[in-house]
Structure 1
């Protein structure tokens, strides 16, 4: 579960959806995309030995034109920069051991489809209708999700928000919210049952069965996490306190279906399967909500600054050949 603030905003979903509504209205049956253009593509750049082809450049340009309505010349220039950056991001992700599963990419793809009120298959059709191979968007999503994980790993310990910064931001608001609004804060812990890659289906089923047994015994975080910590290849990690506004809506719905001291149903993750323990749930007032929101905004801003610096360093040390 990725909680890095503003992750989906990077995809500029709002503008993307607005463009695709028009495309969706013109849906017509289409066959599989021809691969002749891909087969005939040429190398337009090489990033640390990784080639970028003219087909990739053409497809990314079309995607950018579709989502931003940029002129073709601008879209092509931006597409090349994006592809170079993504090659560096994916290379760095591999170096630090970050691997994003296909299911996580598919989930992000489905989220975008949902925003335009389409099923994933209809969304693929809409992209194809506009001449964009759906794999082009999925490649972009994979790179962005991977990079978000890389940045979070590297800077989690270094991103700190001072109390004075929060107070200054609060005082900088034009007016104080006196509406009496409230928000719900959840105290969470993650329980991961590790499953090695390439494990058999029977082994995976065995792990799920073990999780279900633990779930039945899990009636309090103190006792449940103690039991979980004593099991083989099980990792217990604190998530901490999170506002409902900081969590995906679907995940909040899952949390609201269980009581304090219980855990969610097992779900697959890159390292195996996980359950989330609900250790606390509290309704807080608007001032606390505002403070938490501002702190999140400040942390996200600082994280973006560090992300840009990280990528700039990767670029300066890379061997990039443009043809």
Structure 2
């Protein structure tokens, strides 16, 4: 089960111009296992929902209260199960959101404040999501099964041509090596070289001519992979590229890595479609189990509305 981060909009800065102020005293609206949820907490979460989901204020406020109750229930269950989310984990999740909307963490914080939302409001939501994700992984790992009959039924709903075709890639990994403890200047130089290699690269067969101009460049075969077997973080980029192309350089512990698309073909097989459908059905079942688990935890919680 995958953690779903809050979607943020690039136009966040212009959405509101309300200042962020913390009241000296905020009325308690709900307590969950003796943890208070104040009117200020609800207002802050509602503003976040309005910014990120474009919902009317009245709808956002109702959703905010329920989210905050669920968050406290999830955190209490995580604590009971010995799961503790470190501040660094929350910061990493926050930084990932900033990266996804092409902002720095400080720019994202400024954008939130411009919309009347303290960055801590988003971080509080992320902490609950991270805790719940770990709980689900611990509780349901290896237990989510999908019936073959459900996969066949889903396949039958697909167009026949789509059922019988899969995309297969022939891939290689190109590594521009950067030794440990290299200086920042050297890393920058190697990144520039990686980009030059990518710009000049046009064929796996002729790669030696280009790669031979640079020191410590390693090529490793990946082999043939179906589209559904590709890691999610590179699948979309690979799908968008033609054979003879390289993906963008990605920093790794060994240097800057790129994936070369040496070949691409459609094959007569429903394996890719079956795998995709199985993943979708597994995700739906996971969401269903998550909802049942949350309902069970809520029943055991002490929730008092004031």
TM-score normalised per structure 1: 0.61
Counterparts of residues 51-70 of structure 1 (less than 5 Å): 51-70=36-55
Counterpart CA distance in 2 for 1:27 and 1:165 is 46
Conservation of the 8 A alpha-carbon contact between 1:183 and 1:243: no
C-alpha change, 1:157 and 1:265, in structure 2 (3 Å) is: same
Indicate which of 112, 118, 137 corresponds to 1:133: 118
C-alpha change, 1:183 and 1:107, in structure 2 (3 Å) is: farther
> Which residue of 1 is the match for residue 292 of structure 2?
309
SS at match of 1:46: strand
Counterpart CA distance in 1 for 2:112 and 2:250 is 36
C-alpha change, 1:22 and 1:257, in structure 2 (3 Å) is: closer
SS at match of 2:36: strand
> Which residue of 2 is the match for residue 322 of structure 1?
305
C-alpha change, 1:49 and 1:68, in structure 2 (3 Å) is: same
Describe the superposition over 1:58-90 as per-residue Cα deviations: whole angstroms up to 9, x where unpaired. 100111111222222221111111100000001
Counterpart CA distance in 2 for 1:55 and 1:27 is 17
C-alpha change, 1:102 and 1:317, in structure 2 (3 Å) is: same
What is the Cα deviation at residue 302 of structure 1?
A: 0.4
Indicate which of 295, 314, 317 corresponds to 2:278: 295
Describe the superposition over 1:270-313 as per-residue Cα deviations: whole angstroms up to 9, x where unpaired. xxxxxxxxxxxxx9967333222222111110010011111111
SS at match of 1:103: helix
RMSD, matched Cα: 3.4
> Which residue of 1 is the match for residue 168 of structure 2?
182
Conservation of the 8 A alpha-carbon contact between 1:183 and 1:244: no
Counterpart CA distance in 1 for 2:73 and 2:291 is 13
Gaps of 5+ in 1: 186-241, 259-263, 267-282
* Number of aligned residue pairs: 229
Conservation of the 8 A alpha-carbon contact between 1:65 and 1:72: yes
Counterpart CA distance in 2 for 1:101 and 1:248 is 28
The question of 1:243 aligning with 2:229 is answered yes
Larger radius of gyration: 2
Counterparts of residues 200-215 of structure 1 (less than 5 Å): none
What is the Cα deviation at residue 34 of structure 1?
A: 4.4
Counterpart CA distance in 2 for 1:59 and 1:84 is 14
TM-score normalised per structure 2: 0.65
C-alpha change, 1:90 and 1:117, in structure 2 (3 Å) is: same
Conservation of the 8 A alpha-carbon contact between 1:182 and 1:289: no
Counterpart CA distance in 1 for 2:70 and 2:152 is 36
SS at match of 1:321: strand
Conservation of the 8 A alpha-carbon contact between 1:42 and 1:53: yes
Conservation of the 8 A alpha-carbon contact between 1:183 and 1:289: no
